[in-house]
């Protein structure tokens, strides 16, 4: 049940793809966490900014000062597999993916898949993938 607790009651959260652009999911997520009742450490990851919404940002997953209970991935789907592998190496057990382009994932010379499913990672990270359509 440890993974479920980390998903439903995380003590620390990282936002991969955090952004200062209010139109980006990474900005919406961090603003909602700051405005809501979450009181644990929030660790934005982005190489573009030193801080996001006033919170110190980290350039890479590896540079995080601790292993977060939950990762929220807000990047393009083409980066998801690599990000999930990095999270697994860091020791993150649970990730939520909010990504654009989930219906365009393809590998090698295969035609694009219509599903947003990730291949099973080579680590122990549990992935919850959320498909959201917006303009």
Has residue 82 been placed in a domain?
yes
Q: Which residues of 21-55 are buried (b: 16+ CB within 10 A; e: fewer)?
A: eeebbbbbbbeebeeeeeeebbbbbbeebeebbeb
Q: What pLDDT was estimated at residue 4?
A: 85
Has residue 112 been placed in a domain?
yes
Has residue 64 been placed in a domain?
yes
Has residue 135 been placed in a domain?
no
CATH number at residue 15: 3.40.50.720
Residue span of the structural domain in which 116 resides: 2-130
H or E stretch at 33: helix 25-35
Q: What pLDDT was estimated at residue 53?
A: 94
State both tokens at 25.
């999911």
State both tokens at 78.
């083409």
Average pLDDT over residues 88-109: 75
What number of other Cβ atoms are within 10 A of residue 78's Cβ?
Answer: 14
What is the distance between the alpha carbons of residues 73 and 132, in angstroms, rounded to a whole number?
13
Report how many domains make up the chain: 1
Q: What pLDDT was estimated at residue 99?
A: 74
* 96 in Cβ contact with 90 (< 8 Å): no
In this predicted structure, the answer to whether residue 45 has a pLDDT above a threshold of 90 is yes
pLDDT band at 24 (very low <50, low <70, confident <90, very high): very high
More confident residue, 57 or 7: 57
Q: What pLDDT was estimated at residue 102?
A: 59
């Amino acid at each position: 049940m440890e993974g479920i607790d980390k998903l439903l009651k995380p003590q620390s959260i990282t936002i991969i793809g955090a952004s200062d652009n209010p139109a980006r999911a990474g900005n919406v997520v961090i603003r909602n966490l700051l405005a809501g009742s979450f009181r644990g450490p929030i660790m934005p990851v982005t190489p573009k900014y030193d801080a996001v919404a006033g919170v110190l940002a980290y350039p890479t997953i590896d540079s995080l000062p601790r292993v977060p209970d939950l990762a929220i991935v807000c990047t393009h789907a083409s980066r998801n597999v690599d990000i999930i592998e990095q999270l697994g190496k860091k020791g993150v057990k649970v990730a939520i993916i909010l990504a654009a382009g989930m219906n365009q994932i393809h590998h090698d010379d295969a035609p694009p898949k219509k599903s947003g499913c990730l291949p099973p990672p080579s680590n122990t990270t549990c992935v919850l993938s959320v498909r959201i359509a917006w303009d």
